[in-house]
């Protein structure tokens, strides 16, 4: 724990001089993380030396230390250990320094060396490619703080459930790797939570095959929910769409967002659609439209209206999908509108 009481401490002049020598913007550090400058011991010169040794030029070193000044509070031994751990998945030091420049906070969290190393080796054994593991290290570093046994436990729970839901041995590895690549945060859940959520779906009459389908469609995010929130969301949809349990199940399979989003989110999105003059019947036919935020829906309706497309009388399919999907649909509607109608029996005017 570092001291943060600025009044009782003075800035470390040696630290500041060393940072100035490296062309680091000290004012920026003072503004954002002044506590770093108050510490009695810092290893500015040594940490800069390690980064230069890895191939970082002066600008890169300054950039890294401005973004993550607490790097200088780690000992050279700690940083060299971290360097060795990350080299297990980096092709070379050039790639490593590029990652450190982009994600300094992830690299300079050095308290979990042993766990990081054990987890990297476990992920490699599992069959995850190094580029995926580096993506995890930078964007989901917290999964490496877990003891490796905890992560193994979660993976084993997923494997066991995959097989009991009718998944095949042959496809299991591919399924697990895909799920992990899409959502590494799945590892932050407990095995009990995973079990409970799967049981909730089965109790709600989803067949084993349908549960597997939902897991894949929701990219494992289902494990970050609780059975209570899922129950509330399903009840809300059932009341809005006035449908039977069987019909509700079909709607959820069509649009897993009905299970994933909380009632306030679904309520807000539904209201936004109704305000645009869209009917509940239209939404029930194309529930995937609830995956979009109200702002996105408004923007898309505006663009389509400018082409003379009336969303109230048409299908909501043209609103759906990713940004790319929408642009493709929009392009088709636009070209249809601009294309002149060709009449094969009209006389052709030929200039003499």
Of 38-42, 145-149, 265-269, 318-322, give the lowest mean pLDDT range.
318-322
Q: Which residue has the tokens 């003891």?
A: 147
Residues 6+ apart with CB under 8 A from 181: 128, 132
Q: What is the pLDDT of residues 261-290, one digit of tens each?
A: 999 999 999 999 999 888 899 899 989 999
Mean pLDDT (the chain, rounded): 88
Given this model, what pLDDT does residue 109 score? Answer: 86
pLDDT-based confidence at residue 312 (cuts at 50, 70, 90) = confident
Percentage, residues of the chain above pLDDT 70: 93
Q: What is the pLDDT of residues 66-90, one digit of tens each?
A: 999 999 999 999 999 999 999 999 9
DSSP code for 349: P
Q: What is the DSSP string of 255-288?
A: -THHHHS-HHHHHHHHHHHHHTT--HHHHHHSGG
More confident residue, 314 or 33: 33
The overall pTM is greater than 0.85:
no
219 pLDDT above the threshold of 90: no
Helix (H) or strand (E) holding 145: none
Gap between the Cα atoms of 266 and 280, Å rounded:
13
pLDDT-based confidence at residue 105 (cuts at 50, 70, 90) = very high
Closest by CA position to 263, among listed 286, 232, 289:
232
More confident residue, 342 or 115: 115
pLDDT-based confidence at residue 317 (cuts at 50, 70, 90) = confident
Cβ(249)–Cβ(205) under 8 Å? yes
1 pLDDT above the threshold of 70: no
Closest by CA position to 189, among listed 161, 167, 222:
222
Given this model, what pLDDT does residue 326 score? Answer: 86
Q: What is the pLDDT of residues 178-210, one digit of tens each?
A: 999 988 999 998 888 888 888 999 999 899 999
Residues 6+ apart with CB under 8 A from 283: 241, 270, 273, 289, 290, 316
Given this model, what pLDDT does residue 343 score? Answer: 53
Given this model, what pLDDT does residue 330 score? Answer: 83
> Between vectors from CA 121 to CA 61 and to CA 144, what angle results, nearest 5°?
60
351 pLDDT above the threshold of 50: no
pLDDT-based confidence at residue 327 (cuts at 50, 70, 90) = confident
- For 172, other C-beta atoms within 10 Å of its C-beta total 15
Percentage, residues of the chain above pLDDT 90: 61
Cβ(26)–Cβ(16) under 8 Å? yes
Q: What is the DSSP string of 102-135?
A: H-HHHHT--TTHHHHHHHHHHHHHHT--HHHHHH
């Amino acid at each position: 724990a570092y001291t943060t009481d600025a009044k009782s401490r003075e800035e470390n002049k040696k630290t500041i001089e060393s940072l100035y020598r490296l062309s680091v913007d000290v004012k920026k550090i003072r503004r954002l993380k002044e506590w770093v400058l108050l510490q009695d011991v810092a290893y500015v010169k040594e940490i800069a030396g390690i980064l230069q040794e890895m191939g970082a030029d002066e600008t890169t070193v300054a950039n890294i230390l401005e973004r993550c000044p607490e790097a200088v509070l780690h000992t050279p031994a700690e940083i060299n250990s971290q360097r060795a751990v990350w080299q297990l998945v980096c092709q070379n030091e050039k790639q490593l320094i590029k990652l450190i420049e982009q994600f300094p906070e992830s690299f300079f969290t050095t308290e979990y060396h042993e766990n990081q190393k054990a987890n990297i080796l476990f992920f490699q054994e599992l069959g995850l490619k190094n580029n995926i593991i580096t993506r995890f290290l930078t964007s989901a570093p917290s999964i490496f703080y877990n003891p490796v046994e905890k992560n193994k436990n979660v993976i084993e729970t997923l494997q066991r459930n995959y097989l009991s839901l009718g998944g095949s041995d042959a496809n299991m590895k591919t399924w697990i790797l895909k799920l992990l690549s899409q959502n590494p945060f799945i590892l932050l859940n407990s095995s009990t939570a995973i079990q409970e959520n799967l049981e909730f779906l089965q109790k709600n009459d989803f067949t084993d095959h349908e549960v597997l389908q939902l897991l894949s469609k929701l990219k494992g995010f289902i494990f970050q929910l609780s059975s209570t929130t899922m129950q509330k969301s399903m009840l809300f949809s059932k009341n809005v769409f006035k449908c039977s349990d069987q019909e509700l199940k079909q709607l959820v399979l069509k649009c897993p967002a009905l299970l994933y989003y909380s009632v306030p989110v679904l309520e807000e999105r539904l209201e936004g659609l109704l305000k645009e003059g869209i009917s509940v019947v239209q939404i029930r036919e194309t529930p995937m439209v609830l995956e979009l935020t109200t702002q996105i829906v408004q923007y898309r309706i505006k663009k389509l209206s400018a082409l003379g497309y009336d969303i109230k009388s048409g299908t909501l399919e043209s609103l759906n999908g990713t940004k790319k999907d929408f642009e493709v649909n929009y392009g088709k509607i636009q070209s249809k509108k601009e294309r002149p109608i060709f009449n094969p029996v009209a006389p052709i005017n030929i200039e003499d």
